[in-house]
Copies of this chain bind each other. A is one copy, B any other.
């Protein structure tokens, strides 16, 4: 059975090219093609396509907003972002908003078809450079860990991040409150912060503690 498809792309010639390419009646069937995504969620809810191909840079509502709106009303519909943009923040926003794939517009037609089929089969097609950027988000997740914190200091900091007060940390670590205070003073100095909330934020940001 053919995969039903809706296209959002403001560029007329490109939109028509995509229709011609994808509306082969065998693998795919394009049931809608729009130049802007202001009403995207309604249109998708009505047409119930298996797949949506969504441009990002469009007049009016951005494709990312369209993505969010569609996912709210039709979370089961697969949405592939299709754009020239290879900006880290844009990619990140799309992924967080629930995109099921991210194809650059320089993708050759054969690859597009392959990617769309992959998407409906539970995959997450991404252009090579995009996939690399996605992995990069993880990589920066545990490189430069410590600020020369001792084992004990790391423990105390972990407790602080977990929301414990000085007194609670003291009880949990079987030491006096004064010792906790002393440790935290040293920790604050090592992290170059001046209070607990700042330390917690920095500890989490820089993956100094388990989170």
Contact = CB atoms under 8 A, between A and B. Distances in A.
A122 B128 contact: yes
Nearest to A160: B197
A161 B197 contact: yes
A131 interface: yes
Contacts of A165: 195
Interface string A87-123: 0000010011011100000000000000000100111
Interface string A192-209: 011111111110110000
Number of copies: 2
Interface in A145-202: 160-163, 165, 193-202
Contacts of A194: 163
Given A193-B163, A197-B161, A201-B163, A96 B139 contact: yes
Given A96-B141, A142-B96, A197-B197, A134 B132 contact: no
A1 interface: no
A131 B118 CA distance: 11
Which 5 A-B pairs give the minimum distances between C-beta atoms?
Answer: A123-B128, A163-B198, A124-B131, A95-B138, A124-B132
5 contacts: A96-B139, A96-B142, A123-B128, A200-B200, A200-B201
